[in-house]
Chains A and B, each alone.
Chain A
Amino acid sequence: EVQLVETGGGLVQPGKSLKLTCATSGFTFSTAWMHWVRQSPEKRLEWIARIKDKSNNYATDYVESVKGRFTISRDDSKSSVYLQMNSLKEEDTATYYCTLTTRYNWFAYWGQGTLVTVSS
Protein backbone atom coordinates (compact mmCIF):
# COMPACT_ATOMS: atom_id res chain seq x y z
CA GLU A 1 0.00 0.00 0.00
CA VAL A 2 1.33 3.40 -0.99
CA GLN A 3 1.64 5.80 1.94
CA LEU A 4 2.77 9.40 2.13
CA VAL A 5 2.89 11.16 5.48
CA GLU A 6 3.65 14.85 5.75
CA THR A 7 4.95 16.38 8.97
CA GLY A 8 6.50 19.63 10.08
CA GLY A 9 3.67 22.08 9.71
CA GLY A 10 2.71 24.61 12.33
CA LEU A 11 2.39 28.26 13.23
CA VAL A 12 5.32 30.43 12.20
CA GLN A 13 5.95 34.16 12.08
CA PRO A 14 6.47 36.01 8.80
CA GLY A 15 10.08 35.96 7.71
CA LYS A 16 10.85 32.75 9.55
CA SER A 17 11.62 29.27 8.23
CA LEU A 18 10.02 25.86 8.37
CA LYS A 19 10.96 22.46 6.95
CA LEU A 20 8.35 19.94 5.87
CA THR A 21 9.00 16.22 5.56
CA CYS A 22 7.10 13.66 3.52
CA ALA A 23 7.90 10.08 4.51
CA THR A 24 6.80 7.47 2.01
CA SER A 25 6.44 3.73 1.61
CA GLY A 26 4.83 1.16 -0.64
CA PHE A 27 6.41 2.13 -3.95
CA THR A 28 9.84 2.47 -5.57
CA PHE A 29 10.71 5.89 -4.21
CA SER A 30 14.07 6.15 -5.96
CA THR A 31 12.53 6.30 -9.43
CA ALA A 32 9.52 8.49 -8.61
CA TRP A 33 9.34 12.21 -9.18
CA MET A 34 8.09 13.91 -6.05
CA HIS A 35 5.98 17.04 -5.83
CA TRP A 36 4.65 19.47 -3.27
CA VAL A 37 1.21 20.99 -3.79
CA ARG A 38 -0.46 23.44 -1.44
CA GLN A 39 -4.05 24.41 -0.82
CA SER A 40 -4.96 27.86 0.37
CA PRO A 41 -7.64 28.54 2.98
CA GLU A 42 -9.86 29.45 0.00
CA LYS A 43 -9.35 25.84 -1.20
CA ARG A 44 -7.39 26.77 -4.31
CA LEU A 45 -4.75 24.15 -5.19
CA GLU A 46 -1.31 25.31 -6.30
CA TRP A 47 1.56 23.12 -7.51
CA ILE A 48 4.75 24.51 -6.01
CA ALA A 49 7.73 22.21 -6.56
CA ARG A 50 8.99 19.02 -8.13
CA ILE A 51 12.19 16.99 -7.83
CA LYS A 52 13.11 14.35 -10.38
CA ASP A 53 14.97 11.11 -9.69
CA LYS A 54 18.71 10.38 -9.70
CA SER A 55 18.74 9.38 -13.37
CA ASN A 56 17.48 12.89 -14.11
CA ASN A 57 20.07 14.49 -11.84
CA TYR A 58 17.50 15.32 -9.18
CA ALA A 59 16.39 18.28 -11.30
CA THR A 60 14.04 20.69 -9.56
CA ASP A 61 11.34 23.05 -10.69
CA TYR A 62 9.34 25.66 -8.78
CA VAL A 63 6.39 27.95 -9.21
CA GLU A 64 7.52 31.55 -9.51
CA SER A 65 5.95 32.63 -6.20
CA VAL A 66 8.31 30.41 -4.16
CA LYS A 67 11.49 30.54 -6.24
CA GLY A 68 14.46 31.60 -4.17
CA ARG A 69 12.59 30.97 -0.91
CA PHE A 70 11.63 27.29 -1.01
CA THR A 71 13.89 24.31 -1.69
CA ILE A 72 12.73 20.79 -2.46
CA SER A 73 15.11 17.93 -1.73
CA ARG A 74 14.99 14.18 -1.28
CA ASP A 75 16.75 11.36 0.51
CA ASP A 76 16.31 8.13 -1.41
CA SER A 77 17.82 6.12 1.47
CA LYS A 78 14.95 7.31 3.68
CA SER A 79 12.26 7.37 0.96
CA SER A 80 11.55 10.93 1.98
CA VAL A 81 11.12 14.28 0.32
CA TYR A 82 11.51 17.64 2.00
CA LEU A 83 10.44 21.23 1.54
CA GLN A 84 12.61 23.88 3.15
CA MET A 85 10.61 27.08 3.36
CA ASN A 86 12.45 30.33 4.11
CA SER A 87 11.32 33.94 4.32
CA LEU A 88 7.75 32.82 4.86
CA LYS A 89 4.92 35.19 4.02
CA GLU A 90 1.33 35.26 5.20
CA GLU A 91 0.25 34.19 1.72
CA ASP A 92 2.17 30.93 2.21
CA THR A 93 -0.49 29.90 4.72
CA ALA A 94 -1.89 26.65 3.34
CA THR A 95 -2.15 22.91 3.72
CA TYR A 96 0.88 21.35 2.07
CA TYR A 97 0.58 18.00 0.34
CA CYS A 98 3.21 15.75 -1.14
CA THR A 99 2.37 13.62 -4.14
CA LEU A 100 4.21 11.65 -6.75
CA THR A 101 4.43 10.85 -10.41
CA THR A 102 5.92 7.85 -12.11
CA ARG A 103 6.17 7.03 -15.76
CA TYR A 104 2.72 5.50 -15.85
CA ASN A 105 1.07 7.02 -12.84
CA TRP A 106 0.55 10.70 -12.34
CA PHE A 107 -0.82 12.13 -9.08
CA ALA A 108 -2.71 9.03 -8.00
CA TYR A 109 -1.31 9.16 -4.47
CA TRP A 110 -1.35 12.01 -1.97
CA GLY A 111 -0.46 12.48 1.65
CA GLN A 112 -2.96 13.73 4.20
CA GLY A 113 -1.41 17.19 4.20
CA THR A 114 0.21 19.35 6.87
CA LEU A 115 -1.05 22.81 7.77
CA VAL A 116 1.32 25.77 7.71
CA THR A 117 0.07 29.02 9.19
CA VAL A 118 2.17 32.13 8.74
CA SER A 119 1.04 34.84 11.12
CA SER A 120 2.44 37.27 13.63
Chain B
Amino acid sequence: DIQMTQSPSSMSASLGDRVTITCQASQDIGNNLIWFQQKPGKSPRRMIYYATNLANGVPSRFSGSRSGSDYSLTIISLESEDMADYHCLQYKQYPLTFGSGTKLEIK
Protein backbone atom coordinates (compact mmCIF):
# COMPACT_ATOMS: atom_id res chain seq x y z
CA ASP B 1 0.00 0.00 0.00
CA ILE B 2 1.09 3.58 -0.61
CA GLN B 3 1.81 5.44 2.61
CA MET B 4 1.07 9.16 2.79
CA THR B 5 3.11 10.92 5.45
CA GLN B 6 1.46 14.21 6.33
CA SER B 7 3.03 17.00 8.35
CA PRO B 8 2.62 18.78 10.60
CA SER B 9 -0.07 17.01 12.59
CA SER B 10 -1.13 20.34 14.01
CA MET B 11 -0.14 23.93 13.71
CA SER B 12 -1.10 27.36 14.88
CA ALA B 13 -0.73 30.45 12.71
CA SER B 14 -1.78 34.10 12.72
CA LEU B 15 -4.20 35.76 10.37
CA GLY B 16 -2.37 36.81 7.21
CA ASP B 17 0.36 34.20 7.62
CA ARG B 18 1.51 31.95 4.82
CA VAL B 19 0.80 28.32 5.77
CA THR B 20 2.11 25.16 4.14
CA ILE B 21 1.04 21.58 4.80
CA THR B 22 2.88 18.67 3.21
CA CYS B 23 2.25 15.06 2.25
CA GLN B 24 5.00 12.72 1.18
CA ALA B 25 4.13 9.65 -0.86
CA SER B 26 5.98 6.37 -0.31
CA GLN B 27 5.63 5.43 -3.98
CA ASP B 28 5.10 7.27 -7.23
CA ILE B 29 1.58 8.65 -7.41
CA GLY B 30 2.13 11.11 -10.22
CA ASN B 31 -0.20 14.03 -9.67
CA ASN B 32 -3.00 11.83 -8.33
CA LEU B 33 -3.47 13.70 -5.08
CA ILE B 34 -6.39 15.58 -3.56
CA TRP B 35 -6.41 18.00 -0.64
CA PHE B 36 -9.52 18.18 1.53
CA GLN B 37 -10.60 20.71 4.10
CA GLN B 38 -12.87 19.53 6.90
CA LYS B 39 -14.57 21.71 9.48
CA PRO B 40 -16.06 20.34 12.72
CA GLY B 41 -19.19 18.33 12.13
CA LYS B 42 -18.90 18.65 8.36
CA SER B 43 -17.95 16.33 5.52
CA PRO B 44 -14.63 16.71 3.72
CA ARG B 45 -14.55 19.43 1.08
CA ARG B 46 -12.31 18.98 -1.94
CA MET B 47 -9.94 21.94 -2.24
CA ILE B 48 -7.26 20.81 -4.69
CA TYR B 49 -7.33 17.94 -7.18
CA TYR B 50 -4.68 16.43 -9.42
CA ALA B 51 -2.14 17.96 -7.04
CA THR B 52 -2.32 21.52 -8.36
CA ASN B 53 -5.84 22.22 -9.62
CA LEU B 54 -8.11 24.48 -7.58
CA ALA B 55 -11.56 23.00 -7.11
CA ASN B 56 -14.69 24.99 -7.95
CA GLY B 57 -15.48 27.73 -5.47
CA VAL B 58 -12.21 27.48 -3.56
CA PRO B 59 -10.57 30.83 -2.80
CA SER B 60 -7.48 31.66 -4.80
CA ARG B 61 -5.39 31.99 -1.63
CA PHE B 62 -5.23 28.18 -1.67
CA SER B 63 -2.79 26.42 -3.98
CA GLY B 64 -1.25 23.00 -4.45
CA SER B 65 2.21 22.08 -5.61
CA ARG B 66 4.45 19.09 -6.11
CA SER B 67 8.17 18.51 -5.79
CA GLY B 68 9.05 14.92 -6.51
CA SER B 69 7.18 12.80 -3.99
CA ASP B 70 6.34 15.79 -1.79
CA TYR B 71 2.98 17.48 -2.19
CA SER B 72 2.09 20.77 -0.55
CA LEU B 73 -1.03 22.73 0.20
CA THR B 74 -0.34 26.42 0.70
CA ILE B 75 -2.56 29.18 2.01
CA ILE B 76 -0.88 32.44 1.06
CA SER B 77 -2.73 34.66 3.53
CA LEU B 78 -4.53 32.87 6.32
CA GLU B 79 -8.09 33.88 7.11
CA SER B 80 -10.17 32.91 10.12
CA GLU B 81 -12.47 30.71 8.06
CA ASP B 82 -9.48 28.53 7.14
CA MET B 83 -9.39 27.04 10.62
CA ALA B 84 -10.05 23.38 9.91
CA ASP B 85 -8.52 19.95 9.49
CA TYR B 86 -6.76 19.24 6.22
CA HIS B 87 -6.25 15.81 4.68
CA CYS B 88 -4.43 14.56 1.59
CA LEU B 89 -5.56 11.55 -0.43
CA GLN B 90 -3.68 9.60 -3.07
CA TYR B 91 -5.85 8.10 -5.78
CA LYS B 92 -3.16 6.54 -7.94
CA GLN B 93 -3.54 3.03 -6.60
CA TYR B 94 -5.96 0.96 -4.52
CA PRO B 95 -6.32 0.88 -1.65
CA LEU B 96 -6.62 4.65 -1.75
CA THR B 97 -4.84 6.13 1.23
CA PHE B 98 -5.13 9.33 3.23
CA GLY B 99 -2.55 11.26 5.15
CA SER B 100 -2.97 11.42 8.91
CA GLY B 101 -4.40 14.93 8.81
CA THR B 102 -3.34 18.41 9.92
CA LYS B 103 -5.25 20.45 12.44
CA LEU B 104 -4.86 24.15 11.61
CA GLU B 105 -5.63 26.59 14.37
CA ILE B 106 -5.62 30.36 14.39
CA LYS B 107 -3.42 32.06 16.97
Are B96 and A47 in touch, CB under 8 angstroms?
yes
Interface residues on B, range: 20 to 34
Q: Which of B12-20, B42-50, B70-78 contacts A (4 or more CB under 8 A)?
A: B42-50
Contact of B94 among A46, A61, A97, A112 (CB under 8 A): A61
For chain A, the count of residues having a C-beta within 8 Å of the partner chain is 20
Could you list which residues of chain B lie within 8 angstroms of chain A, going by C-beta atoms?
A: 1, 34, 36, 38, 43-46, 49, 55-56, 85, 87, 89, 91, 94-98, 100-101
Could you list which residues of chain A lie within 8 angstroms of chain B, going by C-beta atoms?
A: 35, 43-47, 50, 61-64, 97, 101, 106-108, 110-113
Given contacts A44-B98, A107-B49, 17 further A-B contacts (CB under 8 A): A35-B96, A45-B101, A47-B95, A47-B96, A47-B97, A47-B98, A50-B96, A61-B94, A61-B95, A62-B95, A106-B34, A106-B46, A106-B91, A108-B46, A108-B49, A112-B43, A113-B43
